[in-house]
Chains A and B, each alone.
Chain A
Amino acid sequence: MKRSIQMVLGLGLLGAMLGGNAAFAHGVTNAKAAELALHRVERLVILKKIEESFQSKPQSVKVEAIAHQNEDDPSFKTTVYQVPGQDGSQKSIEIVFNEEGKTIKYTVNAGSDAVNAPTWGEKDATTLTENALHYVLDNAAVKPELVPFSQRLSTLKLSPGTNAAGAPVALVEMGAAANDGVLRVRIKLDGTFDSAEIGAQFEE
């Protein structure tokens, strides 16, 4: 009996060990799914599987949690949109993750080439957005006001902004499902955190 239990435990451990290359044990939130989407975009660009503009000209990200039965089922759908083109259409990429944050598939959707995309300088738009998400993910444990944005992030938008001293920053605004406020995170152009606050609505 004891031997059987040990065998079952051992097989379970083996299964857990080899279950996925980049599996997460637990705790993939909507904000984490958005961060994973940006990581995947970066990998796909590096490997030249999608256009570089997905890394340099993203404007917004949408996140949807998907009801699912099994951990390998689609659990998050994220869509990264580029800055709109002349006709208002946007190139986008949909990335679907399972419950543990492993990529299941991605789909590139056509649109016009982005026009008037901001130029960011030292860090690209994807990295600036990712660093804003890090602020949420790294601090939600001690800042309860960030929890809705970590757990239920539904959309984020990147645009040029300024900080309290008037210096240029990357402004990342985040909205969460069932939450009225908008989290504004300002990231300096070198990628470091500047400031954050919760406001009433998205800036125009």
Chain B
Amino acid sequence: MFKKFGNRLIVVTALMLSVVVSGQAKAETIWYPLPREAYKFGKKYPDAQNLLFAFDYGHALVYERLLLNRGTITDPAKFERDLLVDIMAILRNPPNVKVDEGDIAPIYVYTFPLTLNLFDWSHMLHQFVLDVLATSQDRGPAMTARINEIYAQYKANKPVVITDVCKTMLFMDGHYFSKAFRRSFPSFNLLIWSYHWFQVKLYEALMAPTEAERDKNVAAVTKKFWELISDLPDSADFDMMPETAREAPTFARAFPLLPAAFDNNHMLHDIVSDILTSDKVAASAIRTEGIRFGRMAQDPDAFRAVECSTSI
């Protein structure tokens, strides 16, 4: 009897373990199988695609530099200038594949395990939405359904999903460390907001009904991006982070859940920048704060907005 009970215990334990293990596996940012449209945006618009790859590179690099130099930056303006020189070189000669953050920013990858996964998973959503918008022959219900299908796949991986519930700007700016990055490194902050503008505007560009118009729009957005960063900080006239529904109203009307999902991602990027810059965050607390705020980005009730901030 005890032997039989013991066998059952082993089976139950094994089952429980497999659930736990499979749960962990699901938390990984592996999109399998890839959507059939995956990375086709880049085939059509290589310049814009490579800039997106460069942004990922740039984000990881600035985080790594802030971690490496934490507490020793005596001249923030010089630090920013040097960093901008390096990042501009990457933007002008961007990679043509997605870089692995672990290769260029190992300390950041160790320090922000949750936010890194949230960003990776969300960036795949960004990418695949662009891929569908750039290549779908149907510009109506079938395209909408396809993007919604991809979004459902994104949301199914709950451990790494950023909520699509609108948050107030206090999620980004209402903390003890808030605004540290933009105040210390204003040009770099405006560069990052220009990245966000570019990503969001690409969605709007690709909502045009004909391929010729989409081509023209993507070229125009890319040109405008270069203008925005041509003479930082004055060239990027943002007072606040660009928001998806305001910058891409056609896209936001077609896919009403996506703007908040993307904006929450962008706000989390700014939060990470502030955590890394603010001397109010103890070095020993950076990792736990990263996880705490990552969880907040996932939590639909944290800083929940009564209504989304833009009338669309």
Contacts and interface: CB of A to CB of B under 8 A. Distances in A.
Nearest to B240: A39
B210 A21 contact: no
Contacts of A21: 197, 228, 236-238, 242
Contacts of A26: 310-311
B220 A9 contact: no
A138 to B, nearest CB: 5
A40 interface: yes
A190 interface: yes
Interface residues of A, number: 36
Q: Name A's interface SS.
A: helix
A3 B207 CA distance: 16
Contacts, number: 100
B246 A25 contact: yes
A131 B174 CA distance: 8
Contacts of A131: 170, 174
Contact of B209 (A10, A138, A139, A141): A10
Given A22-B238, A142-B306, A190 B176 contact: yes
B205 interface: yes
B239 A40 contact: yes
Give the bracket for the number of chain B residues in contact with chain A.
35 or more
Interface in A1-52: 6-7, 9-10, 13-14, 16-18, 21-27, 36, 39-40, 42-43, 46-47
B249 to A, nearest CB: 5
Given A13-B207, A17-B220, A138 B305 contact: yes
B306 A25 contact: no
Interface in A92-148: 103, 122, 127, 131, 134, 137-139, 141-142
B183 interface: yes
In the complex, which of the residues B183, B240, B250 has the most CB atoms of chain A within 10 Å of its own CB atom? B240
Given A14-B220, A47-B186, A25 B245 contact: yes
A177 B223 CA distance: 43
Contacts of A46: 182-183, 186
B221 interface: yes
A192 interface: yes
Contacts of A36: 239
B143 interface: no
A191 interface: yes
A43 B232 CA distance: 13
Contact of B176 (A39, A40, A122, A137): A122
Contacts of B228: 21
B220 A134 contact: no
Interface string B62-105: 00000000000000000000000000000000000000000000
Interface in B283-312: 305-307, 309-312
B170 to A, nearest CB: 6
Nearest to A193: B170
Interface string B234-255: 1011111010011101100000
A25 B216 contact: no
**Top 4 A-B pairs, shortest CB-CB distance:** A10-B213, A39-B239, A27-B311, A141-B307
Given A23-B247, A192-B174, 4 more contacts: A21-B237, A21-B238, A22-B237, A42-B179
